[in-house]
Amino acid sequence: MTAALVIIPARLAATRLPRKPLADICGKPMIVRVLEQARNADIGPVAVACDDKDIFEAVQDHGGKAVMTRADHASGSDRIHEAAGLIDPDGKHDVILNVQGDVPLIAPEAIRAAFAPLAIADVDLGTIMTEFTNTAFRDDPNFVKAVTTPNGHGHHRALYFTRAVAPHGDGPYYHHIGIYAYRRAALAKFVQLPPSPLEQREKLEQLRALEAGMRIDASVIDSAPMDVNTPEDLERARAAYQTN
Whether residue 97 is found in the same domain as residue 121:
no
Number of domains in the chain: 2
Domain boundary among 81, 104, 127: 104
Segment 164-185 mean pLDDT: 97
Whether residue 138 is found in the same domain as residue 79:
no
- How does the average pLDDT of the chain come out, rounded? 95
Whether residue 44 is found in the same domain as residue 6:
yes
Whether residue 46 is found in the same domain as residue 150:
no
Confidence of residue 1 (pLDDT cuts 50, 70, 90): low
| Within a domain: 240 | no
Whether residue 112 is found in the same domain as residue 80:
no
Whether residue 96 is found in the same domain as residue 163:
no
Confidence of residue 74 (pLDDT cuts 50, 70, 90): confident
Inform me whether the pLDDT recorded for 2 exceeds 80. no
Q: Which long-range contacts (CB under 8 A, 24 or more apart) does 140-147 make?
A: 143/175, 144/175, 144/176, 144/178, 144/204, 145/173, 145/174, 145/175, 145/176, 146/174, 146/175, 146/176, 146/218, 147/174
Whether residue 118 is found in the same domain as residue 220:
yes
Using one digit for the tens of pLDDT, what is the confidence trace for 3-39? 899 999 999 887 778 899 999 999 999 999 999 999 9
Segment 48-76 mean pLDDT: 95
Domain boundary among 104, 128, 152: 104
Which one is predicted more confidently, 3 or 52? 52
Burial class (CB in 10 A: 0-12, 13-18, 19+), 150: exposed
Which domain does 170 fall in, by range?
Answer: 107-179+186-224
| Within a domain: 244 | no
Other Cβ atoms less than 10 A from the Cβ of 218: the count is 27
Domain boundary among 104, 125, 143: 104
Whether residue 99 is found in the same domain as residue 123:
no
Using one digit for the tens of pLDDT, what is the confidence trace for 90-119? 999 999 999 999 999 999 999 999 999 999
Q: What percent of the chain has pLDDT over 90?
A: 92
Residue 38, domain CATH: 3.90.550.10
| Within a domain: 230 | no
Q: Quick one: pLDDT at residue 15?
A: 73
Whether residue 90 is found in the same domain as residue 118:
no
> Which of these, 117, 108, 92, lies nearest to 42 by C-alpha position?
108
CA distance 141 to 94: 34
CA distance 200 to 96: 25
Whether residue 100 is found in the same domain as residue 125:
no
Segment 216-223 mean pLDDT: 97
